[in-house]
Amino acid sequence: MNGRRLGLRKRLALNIFSDLYRAKAAEHRLDTLFWECTLRCNLSCRHCGSDCRTEPAVPDMPLADFLRVLDEEVTPHVDPAEVLVVFSGGEVLLRDDLEEAGAEVARRGYAWGMVTNGMALTAARLRTLRDAGLATVSLSLDGFEAEHNYVRRNPRSYDRALDALRLIVREQGLTYDVVTCVTAPLVPQLEAFRDMLVAEGVRSWRLFTIFPAGRAAADATLRLGDADFRRLLDFIRRTRKEGRIAASYACEGFLGGYEAEVRDHFYQCAAGVSVASVRVDGAISGCTSIRADYHQGNIYTDSFWDVWEHRFEPFRNREWARRGACAECRMFRYCLGGGMHLRDGEGELLQCHYHRL
Amino acid sequence: MNRKWKLALAALLGFSTACSTVKNAPRRDAAEGGERIEQRDSLRIMVMYGVPTPRPERLDAQQQQQQREASEVADPAVGERAGER
């Protein structure tokens, strides 16, 4: 099957969805706010998009600075119950004041969650985090021991992540998913890995592939060939039909004939449309996947809300992306040039998912 | 074509879930005395380093906790009574 082929029914639905997305971009309602609270990390993963380090050049942002933004710039303009605050890093568990941060965010009425590699998660730490209002968590697990430890460059990382997984799955009322970076060695083992996750009680699984940014840009061993990429999407489609685990492909990339079959929704890039980030150095951006030098302002020199309201036009109107390979592509009306994080410093597309199908 | 018609058409095509930003069931708006049914636009796209949207019951529990804390601040005896149980 040609993975690009769109039937009439799906094409009609995509047209409808495109109109709805335009309305969403015009509305520009914030529903997710990232706080990149640290770039410190206890791992040095081969695929890290943040290029984190054990001792990064940028220190952690003081909690008080982020709370000031929440109190003075965000809360007056939103219903906190409708905005999800996500702590990201680096590895967030390295912050000793994570519980305090979570409790302060929850006290203001926001739900909060975190992304973790699980290395530092213990039963006691999970308890204190839950007491601080932790509502949702994403745990990285990149395959069985060999694949995971290779990507994570730490011989203990798989065992620690598996321990963390078991804690999270057992925790009543905690929303979670497992996030897997699919590398070529994992592709032939996807069925077995899925069965392992199901046996562990995992119900929600998000899979993504490497995009050439950060440390991953220099490591060709991490990327999937086009045939493996299609095999991955076929696997996700089959797994969703089976229904034992809610598998989905990550947000990035328009997927042609696979649209609405490997995700719960049609492709859209929410960065800067409904998602904003406060980076560790105070930079205000759309999404933490976007390269660190692309930002719209800084909390230390600008009003966050003013930036959100007036400087996110490149996110909301993507006509500027109609260039290069996208200039004549008939799919542009559906993909708007792909995810913002897939654009380099000159605005050129690093990778087109559709053309890989 | 307005939004409702578009969503209806998407549903007819079999893509109501994928097209709609209205994924959660309508909820009663407490601020309106429980009479008004609010249509919620709540499909939150999970971006690359994002996390899943917390389940509503968890949010409700958080809100209840906040209300308890607020009432304790307003009347410290409430917290003391709760602590005695």
Q: What is the pLDDT of residue A48?
A: 78
Q: Are A331 and A259 in contact (CB under 8 A)?
A: no
- Say if residue B84's pLDDT is above 80: no
A4-25 residue pLDDT tens:
888 888 999 999 999 999 999 9
**What are the chain B neighbours of A49 within 8 Å (beta carbons)?**
48-49
State the DSSP H helix or E strand holding residue A297, giving kind and residue range, or none if neither.
strand A297-298
Distance (Å, whole) CA B63 – CA A55: 38
The pLDDT-based confidence of A290 (bands split at 50, 70, 90) is: confident
The pLDDT-based confidence of B69 (bands split at 50, 70, 90) is: low
Nearest to B66 among A24, A109, A135 (CB): A109
| Overall average pLDDT of the A264-274 stretch | 93
**Secondary structure (DSSP) of B7-62:** HHHHHHTT-HHHH-S--SPPEE-GGGTT-SEEPP-------TT--PPPPHHHHHHH
Nearest to B51 among A16, A138, A264 (CB): A138
Average pLDDT along chain A = 93
Q: What is the pLDDT of residue A335?
A: 94
Distance (Å, whole) CA A37 – CA A23: 32
Distance (Å, whole) CA A56 – CA A38: 9
Nearest to B17 among A208, A259, A264 (CB): A264
Q: Please give the structure tokens belonging to residue B3.
A: 């939004």
**A3-10 LR contacts (CB < 8 Å, sep 24+):** A3/A230, A3/A233, A3/A255, A3/A256, A3/A257, A3/A258, A3/A357, A4/A256, A4/A257, A4/A354, A4/A357, A5/A256, A5/A257, A6/A256, A6/A257, A6/A259, A7/A257, A9/B13, A9/B14, A9/B15, A10/A257, A10/A259, A10/A260, A10/B15
How close B28 comes to chain A (CA, Å)? Answer: 15
Tell which wins on pLDDT, B60 or A85.
A85
Q: What is the pLDDT of residue B25?
A: 36
Average pLDDT along chain B = 60
Q: Which residues contact A96 (CB under 8 A, 6 or more apart)?
A: none
Q: Please give the structure tokens belonging to residue B51.
A: 């996390």
A39-80 residue pLDDT tens:
999 998 888 766 555 567 889 999 999 999 999 999 999 999
Q: Please give the structure tokens belonging to residue A15.
A: 């047209």
Nearest to B48 among A252, A266, A274 (CB): A252
The pLDDT-based confidence of A336 (bands split at 50, 70, 90) is: very high
> Touching check for B17 and chain A: CB below 8 Å?
yes
Distance (Å, whole) CA A40 – CA A52: 6
The pLDDT-based confidence of A99 (bands split at 50, 70, 90) is: very high
A149-184 residue pLDDT tens:
999 999 999 999 999 999 999 999 999 999 999 999
- Say if residue A269's pLDDT is above 90: yes
> Touching check for B39 and chain A: CB below 8 Å?
no
Are B47 and A84 an interchain contact pair (Cβ–Cβ within 8 Å)? Answer: no
- Say if residue A206's pLDDT is above 50: yes
The pLDDT-based confidence of B60 (bands split at 50, 70, 90) is: low
- Say if residue B46's pLDDT is above 50: yes
CB pairs under 8 A between A and B: 146
Are B50 and A174 an interchain contact pair (Cβ–Cβ within 8 Å)? Answer: no
| Overall average pLDDT of the A277-300 stretch | 93
**What are the chain B neighbours of A259 within 8 Å (beta carbons)?**
18
Q: Is the dihedral of CA A61, A64, A65, A66 positive or negative?
A: positive
The fraction of chain B above a pLDDT of 90, given in percent, is 5
The fraction of chain B above a pLDDT of 70, given in percent, is 34
How close A223 comes to chain B (CA, Å)? Answer: 17
């996208």: which residue's tokens? Answer: A326
**What are the chain A neighbours of B30 within 8 Å (beta carbons)?**
none
Planar angle of CA B63, B69, B73, nearest 5 degrees: 145
Nearest to B52 among A10, A177, A250 (CB): A177
| Overall average pLDDT of the A208-213 stretch | 83
Distance (Å, whole) CA B84 – CA A198: 43
Q: What is the pLDDT of residue B39?
A: 38
Q: Which of A136, A178, A340 to mutate to test the interface with B (most CBs of B within 10 A)?
A: A136
The pLDDT-based confidence of A212 (bands split at 50, 70, 90) is: confident
**What are the chain B neighbours of A19 within 8 Å (beta carbons)?**
1, 6
The fraction of chain A above a pLDDT of 90, given in percent, is 80
Distance (Å, whole) CA A113 – CA A122: 17
> Touching check for B18 and chain A: CB below 8 Å?
yes
The pTM of the full predicted model, rounded to 2 decimals, is 0.86
Provide the ipTM: 0.87
